[in-house]
Amino acid sequence: MNKNNKPSYTIWNNMSYILKLQWKTAKKSVVFLLLTIPITVGITVLTAYLTKSVVYNVINNAGIQKSIISLIIICLAITLLKILQQAIGTYNSALMADFRREVTYVKNKKILYTDYENIENPECRYLLHQANQALWATGAGAAIERAPGILVQIIINIINFFLFGSLISIINPYLIIVLIAVSAINYLLVAGIHKYQYKNRIETAELDRKLWYIAYNSGDISGAKDIRLFNMQSWFSRLFQRFTKERLAWSRKIAARHYIANVIETVFISHRLSSCRFCDKILVIDNGKIVQEGSHSELIKDEKGLYYELWNAQAQYYACQGDGSSGCPSQKNRPLDNLDITHSLRTHM
């Protein structure tokens, strides 16, 4: 048992081991996973460009024919990429299932040839429990099947960060600092959660093992006669309820830590009020003070409020070309230039 309560291997060590094992047993699946990176990034870029194209055509009064052609081309490209993405994902899921079976064989072989002392050791029982959990398949696939996909998603997020981060930095460089700070805080919180889970790994694994033992043996037909003769049904029920209560207590502690990490991800700062319509709660800040709060439908009813003024000022600019003609605000003197930024907080309760 590790007395420092630190894992012997980091997440990146485990990811590297899984990828090496995957390359050794299922090379095609690694190739398909790598192909999903440019495809997913392409879909994201085209989706963002689709919105930009629509807004550009509306603002500049582009012809209907030109607008429809551009939309068809972009939508067709997105559709083809999504079809390719779905086809690769479907085929790769079968390859990953074969990969899981190969790893299961390796795990069972190690158990077969290990010493009895290792089987009875609490640390080894914990490792066996973790291995079984990683190989246990659910509707979303086993953890060992999802791990390479998670690594690919991290790479995609990094690429998107640099792609869109460069655009955001042009608008306001301070937003990049905020995004990096939020990501760093979230990473530290998640790392703390993993450290807490590892510190209490023996206790939770032992409870899981007891729960599995009771659930398996209480439904075993070969032992049904003994359970009935010795009236063990109520005893099994009490044990199961007690262990379930203890296990849920650990789950609540872990969930509370995840909730704190998720709160960091819900902070949403917007300079375009059209995005605020989808927020559950909006805080309007003027000179460092909260002057209004509520949903979009609630705030827009107050015609004397700052949110109503900001919304109409920006909506007026969206409705015209912004050249100062036909009562539109000019590029040099937009109403929003002299108003404070509205911050919105998206809450999930």
Tens digits of residue pLDDT in 102-141:
888 888 888 888 887 777 777 777 778 777 777 776 555 6
Query: Do the bridges between strand 267-269 and strand 289-294 make them parallel or antiparallel, or are there none, so unpaired?
Result: unpaired
Mean pLDDT, all residues of the chain: 75
Rounded distance between C-alpha atoms, residue 119 and residue 209, angstroms: 13
Task: Give the pLDDT band of residue 260 (cuts 50, 70, 90).
Answer: confident
Which pLDDT does position 332 carry in this prediction?
Answer: 41
Rounded distance between C-alpha atoms, residue 300 and residue 274, angstroms: 12
pLDDT score of 29 more than 80: yes
Q: Which residue has the tokens 């990969």?
A: 99
Rounded distance between C-alpha atoms, residue 349 and residue 347, angstroms: 6
Task: Give the pLDDT band of residue 349 (cuts 50, 70, 90).
Answer: very low
Higher pLDDT pick, 238 / 57: 238
Radius of gyration in angstroms for the set of CA atoms belonging to the chain, rounded to a whole number: 28
Decide if 80 contacts 73 (C-beta within 8 A).
no
**Span 173-183, average pLDDT:** 76
Give how far the C-alpha of residue 227 lies from the chain's centroid of Cα atoms, to the nearest Å. 45
Rounded distance between C-alpha atoms, residue 104 and residue 98, angstroms: 10
Higher pLDDT pick, 182 / 1: 182
Rounded distance between C-alpha atoms, residue 313 and residue 335, angstroms: 6
**CB-based burial label for 11 (10 Å; 0-12, 13-18, 19+):** middle
Task: Give the pLDDT band of residue 83 (cuts 50, 70, 90).
Answer: very high
Which pLDDT does position 316 carry in this prediction?
Answer: 56
The amino acid present at 317, given as its one-letter code, is: Y
pLDDT score of 326 more than 50: no
pLDDT score of 73 more than 80: yes
Which pLDDT does position 5 carry in this prediction?
Answer: 55
Decide if 269 contacts 344 (C-beta within 8 A).
yes
**CB-based burial label for 117 (10 Å; 0-12, 13-18, 19+):** exposed
